[in-house]
Amino acid sequence: LTAILAVSGGVASAQAPTAGDAAKGKDIYMKYTCYGCHGFSGQNGPGARLVPMMMNQANFTNYVRNPRTRQMPSYSTKVLTDAQLGDVYAYIKTLPNAPAAKDIPALEQFKEK
Amino acid sequence: MVKKSDRRRLKMAKSQKTGVGRRGFLRSAAAGAAALTATTPLAHAQQPNAAPAAETAPAPSETQIARDAGNVRPPIAARTITRAGSDLMVQTLKDLGVEYVAANPGSSFEGLQESFINYGHPPNQMPEFITALHEESAVTMAHGYGKAVGKPMLALLHGTIGIQHAAMSIYQAYYDRVPVLMIAGNDPDFIAAHTAHDMAGMVRSYTKWDAEPKTLDEALTAIQRAYNEAITPPMAPTLVVLSSDLQKENAPNAAIPTYKPPQFSTIDSSHARDIAKGLLSAQNPRIAVGRLRTPEGVKHAVELSELVGACTSTTATNGPMSFPQRHPLCGPGADANYDYTLGLETPGAQVSITGPSLSQVASTRDTVNIGFGGISGGGAGGRGGRGGRGGAPANTGTRIDADAEASLPLIIDQVKQQMTSDQKSRIQDRTAKNARANHEAHVTALTQAVESKRAGWNGSPISTARIYSELWPLIMNEDWCLASPSNFSGGHNAQLWDHNKPYSYLGGQGAGGMGYGAPACVGAALAAKSRNRMVINVQTDGDLNYAPGVLWTAVHHKLPMLTVMHNNRAWHQEYMFIQYMAGVRGRGGERAHIGSTLREPHIDYAKMAAGYGMASEGPITDPTKLSAALKRGVASVKRGEPYMIDVITQPR
């Protein structure tokens, strides 16, 4: 995995990704139904958790182009440009992480058994 | 469904038009056949190169016009019935302990319906008539009830059209191996389109047994046998077609045949001895429990597990009638190297006791055209998976074709007979070790689950995990039953809730058919009402829209059912499929919503429920308002009033 990330990061880094526009990214996230598998929160549903975002933008872009799972289709540059994916990346970075379980009484109740 | 007034109009119209009843017509049919062939428009239409029938169809007669206008009088009663055949049919059902009959009205069973509501002291009890708004809902109610209780209730179906409305539900119950008793009316003297020479034929591929008796005696026997066939493994829906003549027959001297309960196949005594010996001599035995028939089977499984100190697996988070999930012996135990495994309705390493598979029934039914996919693909040891329908890996040990539930008392007796004091002492030690290990495993699993459930906790739309998490403290001390499938809603109950009763979770749809959740919950709520339980329905929105009228049934009969909408405004599974398909074809997902979402306008489920008379609230989009709404909902249900909360949720 590290090797793949390094290679993909290297390829993408040559394109010097620019900071995306989160507002535009939200529009794309909704329009292209990323939430279908990742939730409106970026962390619910059968897809991988996107929040907190653990990839850099280049790796994120590369992943969307070449998902390492058969559950996710690839999105080519014909469908979404690198700039658009940069916008999506920027939007995902704005999504809040969930509070810790210890701070959620409704979940803490389960631990008391 | 035909209103009685329509029936009268049609009957009179037919009488005026022909001047002879159907039977009279049949008697003279042979003589008149030649003339008919020569003169009727139908015969004309069958000639080669004939003009289309529409062009030669006669203009409506005065009688037909009168019928269409409703300008007819009701028929005059010809006789007085002192003891109706349908009274005996209802008494037969009473004797069998059938609690409920669900139906929307149909003229082909008007004799029966009148008996259900008026016969007996008090009338309309055992069975109680439950008003359904769709035959599909009536059968799915019976499906849910059957899973909650382990015995059938009755669904009453109108001839041809009612059966076809019910067909999908019958298919699901069959696939789910659930006992459902069905009666269809047949009135050959009324509307031709509502009668058939072989009424049951249209659902024979996915019913276990059917009959169309010709006499009242045969009819009563057929009802008894249909009940027995339904509850005998493999359990499945059965259908008796009862003609209106038999229902209306005056039968002052008829008697109900003596009922003979079914025989359940059991293992023989030598098998019981060997299994008991295997469990007692093993250092680390294991019992794998699948879906048993009734709560009694679950009790026996617990008794055996405790007797031998065997750690036990369960399917209680997949469906009903399995081992209690939080029983101290439920889990992997202290040592996962088992030297003896007994399977009960599920594969076991040494011995697996499993009842007959549906494929064995299917081989005697008309299944040529339907196939049943996994059902017929079972093979040796292939009853695994939920409900035991093929596809499971072959069992490496001995498989005994017998009913596990009926066999358990024999094994328990043998264990008690064979157990030595040394073994007893060793079993006590093993029980304590297994209980400790299982508790630790449970705590670990719960900690991991809690960590995953916090995802999107404060987000809007509301996470489905939050629904299950906040609902749990409100019901954990109640006698609850989650009767809706949770497979499309994250399945959070499996990790967070305690499935300790045979009916804690009733599992999936059976065959993945939509329109299941709400009616299955209503059926479970029928069972719950007389047993002081509460039914939880986490209802997916796409599923509800198939036959939402069942909400009215819940209100009308004051059923203890809390519905929490998992409203993601889509058939989300299909939404993801389309999105994926568009993605791999390089077309993006921009239009994936077309045909797979429920938007523009959004459906207001609280208003929908209110329209059916159900107390409701929502849509709730603020997660901080969910808990209070759930409290109001549970309080309402505890007062005996069903309640709906519309929650706008994350997709899954």
Q: What is the pLDDT of residues B491-514, one digit of tens each?
A: 999 999 999 999 999 999 999 999
B583 band by pLDDT with thresholds 50, 70 and 90: confident
Answer whether B576 touches A (CB < 8 Å).
Answer: yes
Q: What is the pLDDT of residues B307-354, one digit of tens each?
A: 999 999 999 999 999 999 999 999 999 999 999 999 999 999 999 999
Its ipTM equals 0.86
Report, as an integer, the average pLDDT of A56-61. 97
- Please tell me the predicted confidence (pLDDT) of residue B1: 42
Q: What is the pLDDT of residues B96-124, one digit of tens each?
A: 999 999 999 999 999 999 999 999 999 99
Q: What is the pLDDT of residues B181-216, one digit of tens each?
A: 999 999 988 889 999 999 999 999 999 999 999 999
Cα Rg of chain A, angstroms? 16
Q: Verify whether the Cβ–Cβ distance A41 to B443 is below 8 Å.
A: no
- Please tell me the predicted confidence (pLDDT) of residue A18: 72
pLDDT at A3 over 70: no
Tell me what the pLDDT averaged over chain B comes to: 87
Chain B, nearest residue to A69 by Cα: B580
User: Which of A110, A111, A113 to mutate to test binding with chain B, by most B CBs within 10 Å of its CB?
Assistant: A110
- Please tell me the predicted confidence (pLDDT) of residue B395: 52
Q: Verify whether the Cβ–Cβ distance B454 to A100 is below 8 Å.
A: yes
Tell which wins on pLDDT, B71 or B524.
B524
Query: Which 3 state secondary structure label does DSSP give B502?
Result: coil
Burial of A39 (0-12, 13-18, 19+ CB in 10 A): buried
Out of B447, B456, B627, the one facing A44 most closely (by C-beta) is B456
Answer whether B451 touches A (CB < 8 Å).
Answer: yes
Cβ-contact B199, B363 below 8 angstroms: no
pLDDT at B386 over 70: no
Report, as an integer, the average pLDDT of B87-91. 98
Tell which wins on pLDDT, B76 or B232.
B232
Is residue B128 within a helix (H) or strand (E), and if so which, with residue range? strand B128-131
Q: Verify whether the Cβ–Cβ distance B586 to A45 is below 8 Å.
A: no
Q: How far apart are CA B471 and CA B490, in angstroms?
A: 15
Q: Verify whether the Cβ–Cβ distance A37 to B496 is below 8 Å.
A: no
Answer whether B567 touches A (CB < 8 Å).
Answer: no
Minimal CA separation from B564 to chain A, in Å: 18
Answer whether A66 touches B (CB < 8 Å).
Answer: no
Contacts of A53 in chain B (CB under 8 A): none
Angle at the Cα of A88 (from A84 to A94), degrees rounded to 5? 145
Burial of B222 (0-12, 13-18, 19+ CB in 10 A): buried
Contacts of B498 (CB under 8 A, 6+ apart): B325, B326, B476, B504
User: Which of B325, B476, B652 to mutate to test binding with chain A, by most A CBs within 10 Å of its CB?
Assistant: B652
Q: Verify whether the Cβ–Cβ distance B650 to A73 is below 8 Å.
A: no
Q: Verify whether the Cβ–Cβ distance B587 to A32 is below 8 Å.
A: no
Answer whether B580 touches A (CB < 8 Å).
Answer: yes
Pick from B613, B368, B281, B649: which is nearest to B488 by CA? B649
Tokens of A8: 């993909």
With b meaning 16 or more CB within 10 Å and e meaning fewer, what string describes B149-171?
Answer: bbbbbbbbbbbbbbbebbbbbbb
Cβ-contact B545, B598 below 8 angstroms: yes
Out of B450, B458, B588, the one facing A107 most closely (by C-beta) is B450
Q: How far apart are CA B433 and CA B511, in angstroms?
A: 40
pLDDT at B26 over 70: no
Tokens of B134: 């769709």
Q: How far apart are CA B556 and CA B139, in angstroms?
A: 18
Tell me the percentage of chain A whose pLDDT exceeds 70. Answer: 83
Answer whether B492 touches A (CB < 8 Å).
Answer: no
- Please tell me the predicted confidence (pLDDT) of residue B24: 35
Pick from B383, B388, B371: which is nearest to B510 by CA? B388
- Is the previous residue joined to B320 through a cis bond, with omega within 30 degrees of 0? no
pLDDT at B180 over 70: yes
Q: What is the pLDDT of residues B599-631, one digit of tens each?
A: 999 999 999 999 999 999 999 999 999 999 999
Out of B464, B583, B627, the one facing A75 most closely (by C-beta) is B583
Q: How far apart are CA A33 and CA B347, in angstroms?
A: 42
Chain B, nearest residue to A66 by Cα: B584
Answer whether B590 touches A (CB < 8 Å).
Answer: yes
Q: Verify whether the Cβ–Cβ distance B589 to A96 is below 8 Å.
A: no
Q: Verify whether the Cβ–Cβ distance B580 to A73 is below 8 Å.
A: yes
pLDDT at B22 over 80: no
B424: left (phi over 0), alpha (psi -120 to 50) or beta: alpha
Contacts of B304 (CB under 8 A, 6+ apart): B279, B287, B310, B408, B411, B412, B415
Tokens of B316: 């209680």
Residue with tokens 């026997």: B221
Pick from B583, B575, B559: which is nearest to B638 by CA? B559
User: In sequence order, what are the beta bridge partners of B257?
Assistant: none
Cβ-contact B543, B518 below 8 angstroms: yes
Q: How far apart are CA B611 and CA B605, in angstroms?
A: 9
Number of helices (H), then strands (E), in chain A = 6, 0
**pTM, 2 dp:** 0.87
DSSP state at residue A55: S
Contacts of A100 in chain B (CB under 8 A): 454
Q: Verify whether the Cβ–Cβ distance B583 to A35 is below 8 Å.
A: no
Answer whether B578 touches A (CB < 8 Å).
Answer: no
Contacts of A113 in chain B (CB under 8 A): 442-443, 446
Tell which wins on pLDDT, B502 or A111.
B502
